[in-house]
Structure 1
Amino acid sequence: MVQHHDTNHQERQPPVIASGAANHRKPRPAIIIIPGAWHQPVHYTALAEPLRQQGYKVEVAALSTMGDPDAIRAKTHHDDVEIVRALLEPHLAAGREVVLVGHSYGGLVATDTAAGFTVEERGAVPTGPDGGLQVQGGGVRAVVYIASPAVVEKGISLTSGMEKMSMGDPPANEGKVTLEDGVAKTSDECWKHLYSPADEKVSRAAFAASRRHHSVASFLSASTAGARDLRARLAYVVAAADEFTLSPAVQHRIADGMGPRCTKHVFEGAGHAPWLQPELLPRLVGVITGVAED
C-alpha cells in the first residue's frame, strides 16, 4: 500500500500517448462517475467540469436505487451495475480505456462494474479451442474510490463489509438516516454532516438537490467481486474530516484492505464530498487524472 499525504498538487495536462505508428494515437481514457447514495448527476458538476476542460469525456451515471420509495424498494446495487455497464459498453466496443470514479456507495457499484472488464483482463482472451488469443483493447484502466464503503472481498454486502471494517465502532451515520419499510431516508438536518465542512450555502443547495430516499436492498445485496481482486489500478481518497457515512478510521481500513494495487490519498480537512471544497478540488482532479495518465 502506497500512502500519499501530499498537499501540494500540480495539475498536469494528460498526454496523448503514441502507440506504434507515429500517426496512431491513443485517446485519453473516458471517465465515468458513479454517485453515492441519495446523489444525482448534478451533484458532480464541480468535479466533472475541470476534467472535461482537460479534454476528458466525462459521464455521470443516474442510478436507479434512489427516488420514489415505491419505485426503488426492490432495487439492489446490481440494478445500478447494469446502468453503469450500459455506459461502459460503447467505450469497450471502441477499444477505449475508462476510469471509474465511485463516490461512497458508488464504490460498491464501481467494483462490480469493473470486474471482468479491466484492461488487463481484456488484453488477451481465448478465441476458441485452438488456444488462440485475441486482443480486445480498451477496458477499465483504474477505479478511484472517494470516501467509499466499498467491499474488499467478494460475496458480501456493503452493510456486512462496513460492519467488518468498523471493528465495533458505532456507525458514523447513526441518527442521520432512518430505515423504514425497505427505504433509507436522510434526516432534515443531515446536510450538516453530509457536506461539512463545505460552505453552508453550497451544502444546503446540494442537499436540496438530493433524493431523500434510497433502497435499503442495495446496501444488503452481495457483491460479485471484491476490490482487492480487481486487476486494475486502484486509488482511495480518505476524507479525513468525514462526519457522515463512515469514519476516517474505517476508510483507512478499507483502503489498506484493497492491497498493493491501491494508492491511498489522505485528504486532511475533507468532508464526505471533497469536490465541494474549492481548496481540495484541484488535488482530487489530480488523483483522477493521475491514474488516467500513468
Structure 2
Amino acid sequence: MASKPTVALVPGAWHTPVHFDILISFLDAEGYPTVSKQLPSVDTATPATTTSEGDSQFIIDQVLTPLLDDGKDVVLVAHSYGGCPAGAAANGLSKGERTAAGKKGGIIGLIWIAAYIAPSNVSVYTLASMYEASGKVKDWIEHDTPSAGYNIPKTIKMKEVFYNDIPDAIANVAIEEVKKISVTAVSTGASTPGWANPGYQGRLAYVRTALDNAITAFAQDDMMQRSGVTWDVHAFNTSHSPFLSQPQALAQTIHTLAKAWS
C-alpha cells in the first residue's frame, strides 16, 4: 500500500504547534505523518526584521524542502495568518510542477483553516483592516509593546475571539500558550501565492468557520471570492479554532481530502 502524504501544519499569528496537538493525535490515529514548526515571527527576538516573507522562506527551508527532497507528498494546511506565508511557500512546489520537472514528491493540495487568502505583497494587517467598519484592526489586539515591535491579543479577549465554542479547561490551556508576534510580519506581505497556480486548481480546500470572531465568515467568503480561484468549502459551525473544538471532524476532513488528492 502506498504511504500516506505528510500533513504539514502552519500555525497562525500568536499560535504554535502546541495548539495543534489534539488534531495531530487524530491524524496520527489515521496513519498520517505530521510536521509543524513555530514560525520565526512568533516570539522572535528580532521583530523589526522578521517579515511575512521570512516566515514563508522558513516554511520552504525548514518544513517543505526536507520532505520534498525525501520524495514525500505533502498536504499543506494553514491556519489564520499562516495562510499568507504558506501561500507564498507553496508557489512552484505542487506535485504536478515537480513531476514535470523530473522531481519526486510535491504538495498535493492546500487546506486553509479560517486562513487569510493573501494576494502577492498584501499584508494580513491590510486584509484585516478591510473587514473592519472603522478601517482598523479590532480592539482585541493589544499594542502594548509597539516600541519593541510586538503585539498580542488582550488576555481578557482571547476566549471570546479565538476559542468561543471551546470548554474553559481546553481554552485556558490554549491561552497560556499564546505568544507575541512581530508587528513587521503582520504588516508585510509575502510573494506570489501558489494557490493561484494551475497546478493547485481542484486541490484547494477552505475550512469555513461560521462562529468565527477573529476572521468573520463574511471575510472568509469575500477573500475566497476575490481570490479568483475555486475553493472546496467545508463548513464548520465553530470558532476560529476548529482544531480544538472539533479536532476529530477536522482530522476526518483532512483525511477525506488527502485521500481524494492522492
TM-score when scaled to structure 1? 0.79
Residues 74, 106 of structure 2: 8 Å contact kept? yes
Q: 1:223 aligns with which of 190, 200, 209?
A: 190
| CA deviation after TM superposition for structure 1 residue 84, in Å | 1.7
User: Residue in 1 aligned with 2:247?
Assistant: 281
- Tell me if 1:36 matches 2:6: no
How far, CA to CA, are the matches of 2:83 and 2:37 in structure 1?
Answer: 12
How far, CA to CA, are the matches of 2:96 and 2:235 in structure 1?
Answer: 27
User: Residue in 2 aligned with 1:87?
Assistant: 63
User: Residue in 1 aligned with 2:258?
Assistant: 292
Residues 177, 187 of structure 1: 8 Å contact kept? yes
Q: Deviations over 1:84-114 (max 9, x none)?
A: 2122112211222101110111111210111
How far, CA to CA, are the matches of 1:209 and 1:218 in structure 2?
Answer: 19
Change (3 A) 1:271 1:173: farther
| CA deviation after TM superposition for structure 1 residue 240, in Å | 0.6
SS at match of 2:57: helix
Residues 212, 239 of structure 2: 8 Å contact kept? yes
Equivalent residue runs for 1:49-64 within 5 Å: 49-64=25-40
User: Residue in 1 aligned with 2:138?
Assistant: 174
SS at match of 2:39: coil
Which 5+ residue runs of structure 2 have no aligned equivalent? none
| CA deviation after TM superposition for structure 1 residue 75, in Å | 0.6
Equivalent residue runs for 1:13-162 within 5 Å: 16=1, 26-67=2-43, 70-85=45-60, 86-125=62-101, 135-151=102-118, 153-162=119-128
SS at match of 2:174: helix
Change (3 A) 1:293 1:258: farther
SS at match of 2:239: coil
- Tell me if 1:262 matches 2:226: no
The one-letter code of the counterpart of 1:239 is T
TM-align CA RMSD: 2.0
How far, CA to CA, are the matches of 1:60 and 1:150 in structure 2?
Answer: 20
- Quick check: which one's helix share is greater? 2
- The size of the alignment, in residue pairs, is 252
SS at match of 1:243: coil
Which 5+ residue runs of structure 1 have no aligned equivalent? 1-15, 17-25, 126-134
Change (3 A) 1:102 1:161: same
Q: Deviations over 1:220-275 (max 9, x none)?
A: 2222123641332111111110112x21110111223344442011212x001112
User: Residue in 2 aligned with 1:208?
Assistant: 176
| CA deviation after TM superposition for structure 1 residue 83, in Å | 2.3
How far, CA to CA, are the matches of 2:133 and 2:107 in structure 1?
Answer: 34
TM-score when scaled to structure 2? 0.88
| CA deviation after TM superposition for structure 1 residue 27, in Å | 2.1
Identity %: 25
The one-letter code of the counterpart of 1:71 is T
The one-letter code of the counterpart of 1:45 is D
